[in-house]
Homo-oligomer: A and B are copies of this chain.
Amino acid sequence: MKVVKFGGSSLASGEQLEKVFDIVVSDPERKVVVVSAPGKRYPEDIKVTDLLIECAKKCLVNEEPKKHFDALIQRYAAIAAELALPAEIISEISDDLTTRLNADKSNPERFIDLLKASGEDNNAKLVAAFFCKKGLEAAYVNPKEAGLFVTAEPGNAQVLPEAYTELHKLRERSEILVFPGFFGYSKEGDVYTFSRSGSDITGAILANALKADLYENFTDVDAVFSVNPSIIDRPKEIKELTFREMRELSYAGFSVLHDEALVPAFRAGIPVHIKNTNNPQAHGTRIVAERDNTNGPVIGIASDEGFCSIYVSKYLMNREIGFGRKLLSILEDFGLSYEHTPSGIDDLSVILRENQLDAEKEKKIIHRIKTELQADEVIFEHSLALIMVVGEGMRHNIGTMARASKALAKANVNIEMINQGSSEVSMMFGVKEVDEIRAVKAIYEEFFAAVPV
């Protein structure tokens, strides 16, 4: 049995819904369909979710949301018209939206969640109606009735353990189930949405609860690329990667899907298949627990800029028990999360995202480290990029570092930092931001291009 999730662009129009229908019926294993709200039809289009947020904000300042309300109904109506669906579905959606707009606004965040969630919820009803009209035995599933219980955290709901037991019962249903993504219900019966990519989360939860054999995630790309296509023109596609590889890659720049969303599938060992609604014949990318290691040590390269480092030196630092821990405590006091801590004998650097900092904070941090830890030197360095080179194949492949560092040297890139050894499937290079693209190109050439020697 497969859980199939479709993203917003796959559901943006009647034409897209026809593709979705064809995909669902082409494989009898596709029993549960998780849907997003209608996305963009063309680059300047507005997503239904964004319209809903605007609409909710108007209501909260007591403005008339009629314009937004009409625009929303118009989006559903356009799809319904394209697919010649009966008028009832639109009046049902309209009634639902009206009820939500009149709901309790004493908790503004909860009200926004209630509105936002309607995008997926009403779209699921519309998709189910469409499937039925096409003669499929299909049904909309109400997440409340199905038992998708979550914590009462607006915009960041967490699934509750009992939800898995409740949702498992959906296996007894014989129809194709159309399940709205993005939200669940608190024990008190209120709607709360997940964090970004919330429909991916719903799909992963269902795949786990229903013990699916596969979680198919339909989006609008043929596959995950081995490197950012804005750096390398038409890079190699990744056919299969492990969860670990995806995590390492997602860290810096890989945004095909929000990796945290896959946790429930990952925990249950269910493979995820990323496919293209617009080109379902394409192989796509499978994310698996383990893979055969046949195609070289490196599967992908990710990079991201906007990092800085705090360099702290103190003579005889390495004899001081607790120095590193105290340094991290100070950063924690400022609410900073850090990425890496390369260390020498008498020095320690902390790499972190620089958007967490400003000049004022930096001054305070330097002061505290100097006074509390009696550090000799505390220096901020800005504008660093991190490059992750990832692949299960490098686990015991002698010489991968030599190849990567030689490629960087040939491209005249100075390596500011190397962090390698904890994860066996990645090596990380820190370089200056100005060197980032040159560095990524050099590593890609080394591992992916058939370079004549």
Q: Contact at A344–B398, with CB atoms within 8 Å?
A: no
Q: Contact at B413–A247, with CB atoms within 8 Å?
A: no
Candidates B319, B335, B349; contact of A421 at CB < 8 Å: B349
With a cutoff of 8 Å between Cβ atoms, the chain B residues found around residue A320 in the complex are 337
Candidates B322, B324, B408, B422; contact of A349 at CB < 8 Å: B422
Does A347 interact with chain B (Cβ within 8 Å)?
yes
Q: Contact at A344–B409, with CB atoms within 8 Å?
A: no
B-contact bits for A412-428, CB 8 A (1 contact / 0 none): 11111111111101111
Looking at the assembled complex, report how far the CB atom of A388 sits from the nearest CB atom of chain B, in whole angstroms.
Answer: 8
Q: Contact at A418–B398, with CB atoms within 8 Å?
A: no
Does A430 interact with chain B (Cβ within 8 Å)?
yes
Q: Contact at B423–A266, with CB atoms within 8 Å?
A: no
A residues 299-320 touching B (CB-CB < 8 Å): 311, 315-316, 318-320
Q: Contact at A398–B420, with CB atoms within 8 Å?
A: no
Instruction: Find the B residue at minimum CB distance from A414.
Output: B398
Q: Contact at B423–A398, with CB atoms within 8 Å?
A: no
Looking at the assembled complex, report how far the CB atom of A404 sits from the nearest CB atom of chain B, in whole angstroms.
Answer: 8
Stretch at the interface among A217-225, A325-333, A361-369: A325-333
Q: Contact at B417–A344, with CB atoms within 8 Å?
A: no
With a cutoff of 8 Å between Cβ atoms, the chain B residues found around residue A405 in the complex are 399, 401-402, 405-406
Interface centre among A311, A320, A328, A337 (most CB of B within 10 A): A328
Does A209 interact with chain B (Cβ within 8 Å)?
no
Q: Contact at A341–B315, with CB atoms within 8 Å?
A: no
Looking at the assembled complex, report how far the CB atom of A308 sits from the nearest CB atom of chain B, in whole angstroms.
Answer: 13
Does A343 interact with chain B (Cβ within 8 Å)?
yes
Does A170 interact with chain B (Cβ within 8 Å)?
no
| A426→B346 CA distance, assembly (Å) | 11
Does A189 interact with chain B (Cβ within 8 Å)?
no
Q: Contact at A328–B337, with CB atoms within 8 Å?
A: no
With a cutoff of 8 Å between Cβ atoms, the chain B residues found around residue A324 in the complex are 328, 338, 341
Candidates B321, B332, B408; contact of A321 at CB < 8 Å: B332
Q: Known contacts being A251-B345, A342-B422, A402-B406, is A335 close to B315, with CB within 8 Å?
A: no
Q: Contact at A335–B321, with CB atoms within 8 Å?
A: yes
Looking at the assembled complex, report how far the CB atom of A174 sits from the nearest CB atom of chain B, in whole angstroms.
Answer: 35
B-contact bits for A373-410, CB 8 A (1 contact / 0 none): 00000000000000000000000101101100110110
Does A240 interact with chain B (Cβ within 8 Å)?
no
Q: Contact at A418–B420, with CB atoms within 8 Å?
A: yes
Instruction: Find the B residue at minimum CB distance from A428.
Output: B344
Does A372 interact with chain B (Cβ within 8 Å)?
no
Q: Contact at B423–A345, with CB atoms within 8 Å?
A: yes
| A315→B423 CA distance, assembly (Å) | 12
Q: Known contacts being A337-B321, A408-B402, is A316 close to B263, with CB within 8 Å?
A: yes
Instruction: Find the B residue at minimum CB distance from A348.
Output: B422
Does A260 interact with chain B (Cβ within 8 Å)?
yes
Interface centre among A260, A406, A421 (most CB of B within 10 A): A421
Q: Contact at B413–A398, with CB atoms within 8 Å?
A: yes
Q: Known contacts being A251-B318, A325-B329, A338-B324, is A398 close to B422, with CB within 8 Å?
A: no
B-contact bits for A190-222, CB 8 A (1 contact / 0 none): 000000000000000000000000000000000
Looking at the assembled complex, report how far the CB atom of A286 sits from the nearest CB atom of chain B, in whole angstroms.
Answer: 19
| A405→B398 CA distance, assembly (Å) | 9
Does A113 interact with chain B (Cβ within 8 Å)?
no
Looking at the assembled complex, report how far the CB atom of A452 sits from the nearest CB atom of chain B, in whole angstroms.
Answer: 20
Looking at the assembled complex, report how far the CB atom of A445 sits from the nearest CB atom of chain B, in whole angstroms.
Answer: 15
Looking at the assembled complex, report how far the CB atom of A293 sits from the nearest CB atom of chain B, in whole angstroms.
Answer: 16
Does A58 interact with chain B (Cβ within 8 Å)?
no
Candidates B248, B345, B430; contact of A248 at CB < 8 Å: B345
Candidates B248, B266, B311; contact of A315 at CB < 8 Å: B266
Q: Contact at A423–B344, with CB atoms within 8 Å?
A: yes
Complex A-B, nearest 3 residue pairs according to Cβ-Cβ distance, in ascending order: A417-B421, A344-B423, A399-B409
Can you list 16 pairs linking A and B with CB atoms under 8 Å apart?
A248-B344, A260-B319, A318-B339, A321-B332, A322-B328, A322-B332, A325-B325, A341-B343, A342-B420, A347-B422, A396-B414, A401-B415, A405-B406, A415-B420, A415-B421, A418-B420
